[in-house]
Structure 1
Amino acid sequence: MDRMRLPGAGEPLHTRFLSGGTQNEIYEIRRGEHRSALRIPPVNAPADRDKGIVREWRIIEALDRTDVPHTPAVAVCTDTAVLGRTFYLMGFVEGWSPMEYGKVWPAPFDADLRARTGLAYRLAEGIALLSNVDWRGVGLHDLGRPDGFHERQVDRWTGFFERIKGRELDGMHAATTWLRTHRPLDFIPGVMHGDYQFANVMFRDGAPATLAAIVDWEMGTVGDPKLDLAWMLQDWPEDTSGPEAAAGYVDLTGMPSRTRLAEHYAEVSGRQVDDLDYYLVLAKWKLAIVLEQGFQRAGDDVKLQSFGPIVPQLMRSAAELAETSEYR
């Protein structure tokens, strides 16, 4: 930190573990008045996670020159002699994550449904702003390969499924065939988050709802940003007044409908969403394959075992939407 001329030289260093899993650990770092968060792979994470950390760093550093809510870039260290792994420091963001509260929103969003709608609109606005980033201008020209993006999606994930395959999934052939024959003729490339949902954002305290930061950029790339929208909406109900709205990992009761959020995204981003069905089918299909990997290696892990019945439901949902969609 002294080499990077960060504030707090000579002050005692205080650390606090914030969260962590198999991919990354996050610590609060305090030194005098300087407060940041350190993101680092755990010791036993695969070696390529160090490259992933640098990739994440590139994205948040590039976003410093945009209006996308994110954690500010502070410093990166690729010298593994320091902490054993590549890591970076990002600005500490005051606020809260929906994952802290489970299915109960913090006040005032627990009781005030009108205030709660703002959470959904701010969520949609986050990727709308991200989609409009001048990715070449901010130095992300080599982050991904937008040419052939949709062709690669289907080929890559069907190949991946064949490698992990432990059972047949009803509807997969129908959904895969539909995706191959209904690819968008054209799209406007942009920065994608890759796993966009309430689990990967933070909000400021209190109302009105304010998006503080989009976090966890390990899946970030340059591709088709409308897949982020579909990822966010793939299990979002049209009717948020019924029991279906509370069925997921957060309670969507009282929030705008899926159609209204797609319209809001279009208004903010300037992108048309007439072909949203294609992206919804792709999102459901892809998520089913991702979760199937977890289920196939679940062992005694109860959480991964729970994916067992979810995966077939997702794949059937993708096939049913493909069969009934008016998108041609």
Structure 2
Amino acid sequence: MSPKDTIPVRQGEELDLEFIENLIRQHVSGLSDDPLEIEQFFLGSSNLTYQLRIGDWEAVLRRPPHGPVAPKAHDMEREYKILKEINPHFPAAPKPYFFYQNEKEGKPFFVMERKRGVVLDSNMPEEIVLSEEKNREISEAMVDTLVQLHDIDYTKTKLKNMTKPEGFMERQVHGWINRYERSKTDDITGINELTRWMANNIPNTKESTVIHYDFKLNNAMFAKNDLTKLVGLFDWEMTTVGDPLADLGVAMSYWQESTDSELLKKGLGNEPITTRPGFMSRDEFIEAYAKKSGRDVTNMNFYQTFAYFKLAVICQQIYYRWKKGQTQDTRFSKLNHFVENLIEYALYSLDRKSY
């Protein structure tokens, strides 16, 4: 990540410095006598993520947000175990150091490797200059990375005992519909039509692979001296074994184009760089993935429809927490408008012809 990706820890989100340092020294050997320094990563609106530093040693701590959280969300132990299994086969996944149950606070956390590089986002370092040709190469690197991730033989890892590929899309569709109902705050036009269509058109999964399920450019890190070399991939909370096209659909829900609405492009903050000239369109990305993976993408309209709905529900859950006073972060106060826009895009994808 860039040198400016951290800030002083936000008020109300502090960690017990002495306790964390003692815990680190129990699990990590060879550390200097320097005191622990903690800063906070300012990106992200779900889990809380901190930079830890003792002398030259650096790491990252991830923990759930304060206040009530949705059932099964923010499972730190599961994410830790997934990284342990994936890192040996996919080095871009950070190496996890240790997990702590933290029964006292009820908010477990884990500590993992700190990667160094550049996150290509709207707030990236000013010295990074992107050309149309470079943007195309970055797009290709993202396609290649997704294909490589889906090529991991999960049967040779403990993921085969941690996941249940059978019936994955059935559980996903009905599960996210239920999550929406539990976090609903406003009436949205077309939502009943959308949920009925998804429930009645679930495709048969042809293949199950490891899926990241939050694959997007600002979860990726590139080498600073080679912006086509991906050195880190983050936020493995939703990772499982399931339909690889569901992973591709989620990736495309984050991959905005210049012709998208202003609300879609800026709903999660500043306009993403994928709208700049040279970046693949969503259709080009899907076609490149199909060519490199050999997978049939005929039913991608379903997976994109579901992906927009899934993203809408994630944002709705965050907005629900803000509206109920469970978080004071003002960034979330207008997420309801973004949720409505995502539902509109899901309905648009529903009507598209198959690829």
Q: In the alignment, what sits opposite 2:89?
A: 66
The question of 1:88 aligning with 2:110 is answered yes
Q: 5 Å matches for 1:218-237?
A: 218-234=237-253, 236=255
Match of residue 76, structure 1, among 93, 99, 108: 99
Q: Is the 8 A contact 1:29 1:38 kept in 2?
A: no
Post-superposition CA distance 1:195-244 (Å, at most 9, x none):
2212322222133422121111222222222222111212545xx56576
Question: Alpha carbons of 1:44 and 1:272: their partners in 2 closer, same or farther (altered >3 Å)?
Answer: same
Aligned AA for 1:317?
Y
Query: CA separation in 2, counterparts of 1:19 and 1:225?
Result: 30
Seen in structure 2, the aligned counterparts of structure 1 residues 304 and 92 have a Cα distance that, compared at 3 Å, is closer
Distance 2:126 2:336 in 1: 31
* Separation in 2, partners of 1:69, 1:85: 26
- Is structure 2 residue 298 aligned with structure 1 residue 274? yes
Partner of residue 166 from structure 1, selected from 181, 185, 191: 185
Counterpart position of 1:15: 37
Q: Could you say which residue in structure 2 is the equivalent of 1:320?
A: 348
> Shift in Å at residue 140 of structure 1?
0.9
Which of 301-310 and 113-122 deviates more? Answer: 301-310
Tell me the residue number matched to 2:228. 209
In 2, Cα distance between the equivalents of 1:105 and 1:175? 40
Deviations 1:91-141 (A, max 9, x none): 221112235x43x6754444x221122222222333222222222212111
Aligned residues with identical type, % of pairs:
22
CA contact (8 A) 2:216 2:254 kept: no
Q: 1:205 to 1:143 in 2, by over 3 A?
A: same
CA shift, 1:42, in A, is 6.2
Contact 2:51 2:58 in 1 (8 A): no
- Cα separation, 1, equivalents of 2:126 and 2:145: 20
1:45-60 maps to which residues of 2 (within 5 A)?
Answer: 52-60=75-83
AA matched with 2:159: L
| 1:7-34 deviation digits (Å, cap 9, x = unpaired) | 23x6334323132666323222335x54
What does residue 6 of structure 2 align with? Answer: none
Secondary structure, aligned partner of 1:271? coil
Q: Distance in 2 between matches of 1:115 and 1:284?
A: 28
CA distance in 2, matches of 1:266, 1:183: 20
Alignment correspondent of 1:98: 120
Name the CA shift for 1:29/1:155 in 2 (closer, same or farther; >3 Å). Answer: same
- Counterpart of 1:180? 199
Check whether the contact 1:115–1:207 (CA below 8 A) recurs between aligned residues: no
Q: Is 1:147 paired with 2:175? A: no
What is the aligned partner in structure 2 of residue 308 from structure 1? 336
- Alpha-carbon distance, 1:192 to partner: 2.0
CA deviation after TM superposition for structure 1 residue 147, in Å: 1.2
Aligned to 1:37: 60
Deviation at 1:282, TM superposition (A): 0.6
Amino acid at match of 2:237: E
Q: 1:24 is matched by which residue type in structure 2?
A: L
CA distance in structure 1 between the partners assigned to 2:180 and 2:211 by the alignment: 23
1:247 matches 2:247: no
Q: Using the alignment, how far apart are the partners of 2:235 and 2:339 within structure 1? A: 24
Asked if structure 1 preserves the Cα contact closer than 8 Å seen for 2:147 and 2:292, the reply is yes
Length-normalised TM-score, structure 1: 0.82
Question: What's the offset of the Cα at 1:49?
Answer: 8.8
Report how far residue 188 of structure 1 moved: 1.3
Secondary structure in 2 matching 1:38? strand
Is the 1:25–1:42 contact (alpha carbons within 8 Å) kept by the matching residues of 2? no
RMSD: 3.3
Change (3 A) 1:22 1:116: closer
Contact conserved, 1:40 with 1:87, CA < 8 A, in 2?
yes
Aligned to 1:131: 150
Residue of structure 2 equivalent to 1:283: 307
Structure 1 residues not aligned, in runs of 5+: none
CA separation in 2, counterparts of 1:126 and 1:34? 28
* 1:163 maps to amino acid: R
Count, aligned residues: 319
